[in-house]
Amino acid sequence: MPENDPQPQPGQVPALLDVHVGRGRTSVRLELRPVGLDWLLLITGGEQHVGAVALAEPGSDPAQLVRGAHREGPLAATCAAIISAATGAGCVAVAGIHQDEATGEEIVAIVGNAERGARILAAWAVDRDQR
């Protein structure tokens, strides 16, 4: 894993899991919090905001709610689905990432970083649930 991906200590996985993936303009922060048996995922980067919300549950396509002209819906849905599939529980993802004049290459990197962060958090969540 990249050097900026934190590693939990055995037996020390916190109630709030937090990871930063990437650097500079393509850096993304993901926070995962348990809500009963389900999960709440916050995905931010650049200028933080609420651009989209997605709800995923195992075996179903994620539902999306997108604010205005924001474009984070598919990203929120993908990341929520990653957490839901791994944990077997519901997951709501709230996404808001904005970088002025982001290039196509930067957008691809941002999406990749968010998806990688979701996979890291999903693995932590599964480990936490197996304790």
Q: What is the CATH number of the domain that holds 40?
A: 3.30.230.100
Average pLDDT over residues 56-85: 96
Whether 13 is covered by a domain: the verdict is no
The boundaries of the domain holding residue 99 are 27-129
Per-residue DSSP letter, 9: P
- The 10s digit of each residue's pLDDT in 19-42 is 999 999 999 999 999 999 999 999
Give SS3 for 120.
helix
Tell me what pLDDT residue 34 has.
93
Whether 19 is covered by a domain: the verdict is no
Whether 14 is covered by a domain: the verdict is no
Q: How many domains does the chain have?
A: 1
Whether 109 is covered by a domain: the verdict is yes
Q: Which helix (H) or strand (E) holds 74?
A: helix 73-87
Whether 9 is covered by a domain: the verdict is no
Whether 4 is covered by a domain: the verdict is no
Tell me what pLDDT residue 131 has.
55
Contact by Cβ (8 Å): 24, 105: no
